[in-house]
Amino acid sequence: MHNDISEILFSEQDLAIRVRELGEAITRDYADVAGDAGIVVVSILRGGAVFTCDLIRAIDLPLEVDFMAVSSYGNGAKSSGVVRILKDLSTDIRGRHVVIAEGIIDSGLTLKYLLKNLQSREPASLTVAALMRKDTPAQADIPCRYIGFECPDEFIVGYGLDFAEHYRNLPYIGVLKPEIYQ
Ligand code: PRP
Ligand code: MG
């Protein structure tokens, strides 16, 4: 285990099993509507990238994957509440079945903004697959169809999630020692 981590919350194996289950659920739920065009998985960079790569390989349907980069945290430990689009989609999602793949819901502000933004492009449907949902007081009410794990309100990193751009490459999700971010 990395020296800056106090505890592993979800092991590499826990993640593999759960992501596979989410992929199977999406496969079942979209089998009738996917058609030849398939669904569009919108990956939210950067925290959702690792989850997305595993998730799409667990979905047995035609699909396109596209990426959107947004940032609300910068290098801080708290959400600024201001969401900036750093990179927009290349795909026109109008009339498409879209699944957003996000690493974590914390305050919910990022997804609240994204849902409104993507809905305005008139997709055929729009749902959220979030690997983690933090048990945070006053979280925005986000309709999230697929959730990997509920997690405690601690600073967690790994499997795509960072603190100040570090730890994204850890294969597990762990709790960051408070002395690292305080
Ligand atoms: C993180 C994370 C989510 C968002 C969740 O993104 O990847 O996108 O915060 O927090 P919220 O529910 O409070 O909005 P961040 O802004 O740190 O960018 P990153 O994904 O590039 O690390
Ligand atoms: Mg971040």
Provide the pLDDT for residue 72.
Answer: 79
Provide the pLDDT for residue 92.
Answer: 98
Q: What is the pTM of this model?
A: 0.95
- Looking at 18-157, which runs of residues are DSSP E strands? 39-45, 63-71, 84-87, 97-105, 125-134, 146-151, 156-157
Q: Is this complex scored with an ipTM above 0.85? A: yes
CATH number of 12-151: 3.40.50.2020
> In this predicted model, what pLDDT tens digit does every residue of 74-130 receive, in sequence order?
566 566 667 889 999 999 999 999 999 999 999 999 999 999 999 999 999 999 999
Asked whether 52 lines ligand 1 (CB < 6 A), one says: no
* Mean of the per-residue pLDDT values of the chain: 94
Does the pLDDT at position 51 exceed 70? yes
What b/e sequence results for 154-172 when a residue is b if at least 16 CB atoms lie within 10 Å of its CB, and e otherwise?
A: ebbbbbbbbbeeebbebeb
Q: H-helix or E-strand containing 113?
A: helix 109-119
Provide the residues around ligand 2 (an ion) whose CB is within 5 A.
73, 162
Catalytic site residues? Answer: 106
Q: How far is the CA of 74 from the centre of ligand 1 (A)?
A: 9
Asked whether 91 lines ligand 1 (CB < 6 A), one says: no
Q: What is the atom index within ligand 1 of the atom nearest the CA of 110?
A: 14
From 52, 75, 86, 110, give the residue whose CB has the most ligand 1 atoms within 8 Å, as the site to mutate. 110
